[in-house]
Copies of this chain bind each other. A is one copy, B any other.
Amino acid sequence: MSLDTGSDSRRQNDEIRRIDAYWRAANYLSVGQIYLLDNPLLREPLRREHIKPRLLGHWGTTPGLNFVYAHLNRVIRGRDLDAMYVIGPGHGGPAMLANTWLEGSYSEAYPEVPRDEQGMRTLFRQFSFPGGVPSHVAPEVPGSIHEGGELGYSLAHAYGAAFDNPDLLVACVVGDGEAETGPLATSWHANKFLDPVHDGAVLPILHLNGYKIANPAVLARIPQEELDSLLRGYGYRPRYVTGSDPATMHRAMAEALDATITDIRRIQDEARSGGRTERPSWPMLVLRTPKGWTGPSIVDGVPVEGTWRAHQVPLAAVRENPEHLAMLEEWLRSYRPRELFDDDGRPVPELTATAPHGDRRMGANPHANGGLLLRPLRLPDFTAFAVDVAKPGGSVSEPTRALGRYLSEVIRANADARNFRLFGPDETASNRLDAVYETTGKQWEGEILDVDEHLVRDGRVVEVLSEHLCQGWLEGYLLTGRHGLFSCYEAFIHVVDSMFNQHAKWLKTSKRLPWRRPVASLNYLLTSHVWRQDHNGFSHQDPGFIDHVMNKKAEVIRVYLPPDTNTLLSVADHCLRSRDYVNVIVAGKNESPDWLPMPQAVLHAARGAGIWEWAGTEDGGQPDVVLACAGDSPTLEVMAATAILRQELPELRTRVVNVVDLMRLQPAGEHPHGMSDREFDALFTTDRPVIFAYHGYPWLIHRLTYRRTNHDNIHVRGYKEEGTTTTPFDMRVLNDVDRFQLVVDVLDRVPELGVRTALLRQRMLDQRTRHRAYVRTYGEDLPEVRDWAWPY
């Protein structure tokens, strides 16, 4: 349908009338959710006891979200579009609930909330009600991949959903509050990474209500020409739909949306027929409507509609104030519910006929329940990428370099499926994963010069210097049923701490919803880690993301610290096969010893923690001391300390325990991977001193093990926030996790060794002093440390 021809004005008016009815119905259902416990159809005059005791919800953004939904429905039906709806102002939860109930998708997910009067009562009552549904768009809401409670990530999610879905349209409402956040502000630039040939389309809809919680919004208060310049500067061609008169606005929105969809199709057709190679200016919409549109205009003498006062509950004292109660009833009746719902509370046929059908309904679009579409990755045999380990510690390799070769094959094997991507903030090569460029390139829709390398219009690697965008894209990609990995400098993954929180919360909730199907895990490769930031120093040294992750539910969290290349390969394969987790893999990129031949690495990774019998000297009995390690640098130092002890104190029975899967340390009742006390005691003994060298902040090991029998004997060394630009070994000395200190720790904790070790102890301390002098003179580590290799 085109509204601007004038050819069939009756048909057009009919359509506008139907859209308006749909919108009124959604608005009615939204207000009902915020206020009503009962009397959902207003069969009787509204009374105090029909009102919820606690009025919780956000009205302000909701009518606009409903308006967009209704108009998207029109074009979906008219053009048989495959479309999803990402709602940045996710606090407008009533909108998505109202619309999915109206179109029927809600009742399909929740048969206990049918499309009738009883269902409407439940829909109303459950909203923001204890034991009911949250006030925001959330995993519980069909059709959503985006919570929106924390602002900033909608547009990144939308682009992530559109990648490799050439037929998908992702409409994304950006609220004017969200538009002020950093992540959203840079997400506009995602259009430089969207391939019009192989990716779908994102339709940003900047919804300017004018106000946030308590303030005007920045973009609502800059001159129109400045806003237009900004959006064009972002590379979009904006259309504006502005006003408050419903009839006018319906017509304007329908026209704008028609023209926009036509533009999108034209861009895609041109690109897909080879007629265009440069980056297109994608269309977008700016919708300016009053905040709390169609709600109470004036309450208690002050303006509400069109102001920040409409943000949450415009009439706050409905139970106590008869005037407010009357205003609420008038407000609800203003939508003319008797025209919209039949006597049984069902939407009238005109409404249901207005919505799309089946999977075309945005609440039923399978992309928004990505597990439905998920196809397992075709994974090559990772053991084929093993490094040869003739003897433990007899060779070195760069773990992430080997991983890059494996990932390159993963990309090749799934090239046709187009369901795997590698995201990174300009660090893929720095992180030594650059073997992937043998099978793919970096997606880049901007200008490409001769001097550039690996830039292509359509690549599996997506790099932008924004951890927020990387994370947001990957989340959107995973939640729509694909696979991926985010490689990042360890320190800067904290940039997305809060995004991780929200994704972990999403997964936790989703896993409890039977209709949400499992999605691929979110895989982090954290490298260029704290122990090897030689050229960047203190700002780049922070292993605390692991601690942050540990606060989230055990059922969704996994942390791996592979000690060498082969173990990393095995762990990576495991993570790429997993579902519904967040996997954190911490691994170095620099040359480091290969400890395990692949068969042992596979076994070790599967066990998650184990005794390296070949390294220790306990010979079947109980050891005198346990040297434990987790992480590649600590493992190296523990091995070097063990070697010193073997040579200097051959009678000392040492045991080396290496931990790959950090969750193994927890009690079995705390985490699915947790060891039983019997297992733990078998590794760490019940009474021997344990010197534990750990990759990160040491107290995490205590937190994980404080309930264990032998906890009082566990002495942990790790990063204690002493960093700078210095050599690898000097970093370990600064933090007391070097081999010499570890030997001293052993001597101090095995009193049976007695005074005869005093000399050795002093020699170890002297070595630390010697190191300090040497490194400050020559700028390099002591040769015997630099060239050290496991001697056994």
Q: Which residues of A contact B (CB under 8 A)?
A: 37, 52-54, 56-58, 90-91, 128-136, 138, 147-152, 177-178, 180-189, 192, 212-218, 221-222, 226-235, 303, 306-307, 312, 426-430, 442, 444, 446-447, 449, 451-452, 455, 463-466, 468-469, 491-492, 494-495, 497-498, 501-502, 505, 508-509, 534-540, 542, 544, 547-548, 550-553, 697, 699, 702-703, 706, 711, 721, 724-727, 730, 772, 775-776, 778-780
Contacts and interface: CB of A to CB of B under 8 A. Distances in A.
B779 A53 contact: yes
A26 B539 CA distance: 25
Nearest to A57: B535
A432 B562 CA distance: 48
A540 B133 CA distance: 15
B538 A509 contact: yes
Given A54-B780, A180-B464, A303-B451, 15 more contacts: A128-B537, A128-B725, A129-B776, A135-B537, A182-B186, A184-B186, A189-B218, A213-B427, A215-B463, A228-B233, A229-B233, A232-B233, A505-B721, A547-B551, A548-B548
A779 B177 CA distance: 30
Nearest to A427: B213
A544 B538 contact: no
Contact of A130 (B306, B455, B468, B727): B727
A499 B444 CA distance: 29
A340 B149 CA distance: 59
A192 B218 contact: yes
Counted per complex, copies of this chain come to 2
Contacts of A180: 186, 189, 464-466, 469
25 contacts: A53-B778, A54-B779, A57-B535, A135-B536, A138-B537, A138-B538, A150-B491, A185-B188, A192-B221, A212-B426, A215-B442, A216-B446, A216-B452, A228-B233, A229-B229, A229-B230, A229-B233, A233-B233, A491-B501, A501-B542, A505-B539, A547-B548, A553-B721, A706-B706, A706-B711
Given A135-B537, A182-B466, A232-B226, A492 B497 contact: no
Contact of A229 (B37, B189, B232): B232
Is chain A's interface secondary structure helix, strand, loop, or mixed overall?
Answer: loop
Nearest to A447: B221
Contacts of A234: 230, 233
Given A134-B724, A442-B215, A505-B539, A129 B779 contact: yes
A495 B498 contact: yes
B56 A535 contact: yes
A442 to B, nearest CB: 7
A130 B730 contact: yes
A510 to B, nearest CB: 12
Contacts of A192: 218, 221-222
Contacts of A548: 497, 544, 547-548
Contact of A725 (B135, B148, B498): B135
A440 to B, nearest CB: 15
